[in-house]
Amino acid sequence: MKKVFALVLVAAIIIASVMANGAQEAASSGAEFKPSKSISWYCSSKPGSAADRFTRKVQGVIDETGALDKATIVVENVTDGSGAVNWKRMQSLSQSDADHTLLTLNLGDVTTMLDNTQFRVKDFKVVATMAQDKKFLYVSKSAPFNDFDGFVEYLKNNDVILGGGKADDNVMFNLLKQKVDKNDHLSYLQTGDTAGTLQAVLGNQVYLGIGKLGTLKDYLASGELKAIVTEGTSRMSGVLSEVPTFAEKGYEGMDFIQTRCVVAAKNISDSAYKYYCDAFKKVATSQEFLDAYVNVYQASALDLVGADAQAYLEAAEKNVIDAGISGKQ
């Protein structure tokens, strides 16, 4: 009887092992995946910021379209370490959590990685590139200049403090120092994000800010704030239709346009990765996303997923390195 029991026990162990290995092989071979619990979506900027607005707009489209099979999405705003806390969290997730966790990662974040951490794009699985947002300089009513030419002229003999958020704004400041500020009169107040810059301008801490349309559209439409120059090869429309580009004003090489991306942990299963890539492709190309984000904020759609998205962001990272672009202050 003991021998029979032992044989049965060994057989059970073998069967369990085969089943477990089979499950792991199915996961890695791309077997169908669907979320089995809520999805955590990390955002490294505070509520109301441009990155937060993007994240929640996409979340809204997902909820509206059922793109993730009606799974509950919980957005977590964790701003510690300028993103580094979230990047570290993504490296230490269990397999199950890796299959149920996303992170908003923008091109500006990549400069922060390069400047301050050992993390690189290769440490994540890029699910999708969704859109690109142009930045612009804007002024308050109390500023001693109200257009870009006036700013350049004023800067020749007067100190100006520029307010900006994270690394992509820091890059614009560095470019302005190189190309516009000939007499070392421009300094920088790092506010953390676009919402923080807005408060600094409205509170008269600074005359001049770096912004994106998502946060500032209503203020520009009301005339409370005025944009004076934008990134890009062509003018924007709507409330920014009369605002010249840097190139129009004779300043080439000023563009470092923010790219909005969604990434997963490096150890996400193949099946879960494929599931999210397929889902975000549908979201990025949907009319709902165009209406909720791209058209409203005059962003440019960039609907790459999977290997294409990974290659795009790694190439952008290489461009940052090769160009010697820094987000440091």
CATH of the domain at 165: 3.40.190.10
pLDDT at position 76 over 90: yes
Residue 56 and residue 143 in one domain: no
Q: With respect to residue 9, please indicate whether it lies within any of the assigned structural domains.
A: no
Residue 65 pLDDT: 93
Instruction: Report residue 248's pLDDT band, with 50, 70 and 90 as the boundaries.
Output: very high
Taking residues 139-148, what's their average pLDDT? 94
How many domains is the chain partitioned into structurally?
A: 2
CA 88/CA 95 separation, integer angstroms: 15
What's the pTM value of the predicted model, to 2 decimals? Answer: 0.77
Determine what percent of the chain is predicted with pLDDT higher than 70: 89
pLDDT at position 267 over 90: yes
The total number of residues shown for the chain amounts to 329
Taking residues 41-48, what's their average pLDDT? 92
Q: With respect to residue 196, please indicate whether it lies within any of the assigned structural domains.
A: yes
Q: With respect to residue 26, please indicate whether it lies within any of the assigned structural domains.
A: no
Determine what percent of the chain is predicted with pLDDT higher than 90: 63
Residue 328 pLDDT: 60
Q: Which domain holds residue 188?
A: 135-240
Residues forming beta bridges with residue 103, ordered by sequence position: 42, 263
Residue 5 pLDDT: 32
Residue 43 and residue 183 in one domain: no
Residue 15 pLDDT: 36
Taking residues 105-127, what's their average pLDDT? 92
Residue 75 and residue 104 in one domain: yes
Residue 163 and residue 199 in one domain: yes
pLDDT, one tens digit per residue, over 283-313 is 999 999 999 999 988 888 999 999 999 999 9
Residue 111 and residue 142 in one domain: no
Lowest mean pLDDT among 160-174, 221-235, 243-257, 279-293: 160-174
Instruction: Report residue 17's pLDDT band, with 50, 70 and 90 as the boundaries.
Output: very low
C-alpha closest to that of 263 among 89, 47, 115, 38:
89
Residue 113 and residue 148 in one domain: no
For the CA atoms of 250, 239, 143, 171, the dihedral, rounded to the nearest 10 degrees, stands at -50
Residues forming beta bridges with residue 101, ordered by sequence position: 40
Q: With respect to residue 245, please indicate whether it lies within any of the assigned structural domains.
A: no
- Which residues lie closer than 8 Å to 160 by C-beta, 6 or more apart? 151, 154, 185, 186, 187, 207, 208
CA 73/CA 23 separation, integer angstroms: 25
pLDDT, one tens digit per residue, over 189-198 is 988 788 889 9
Q: With respect to residue 7, please indicate whether it lies within any of the assigned structural domains.
A: no
Instruction: Report residue 279's pLDDT band, with 50, 70 and 90 as the boundaries.
Output: very high
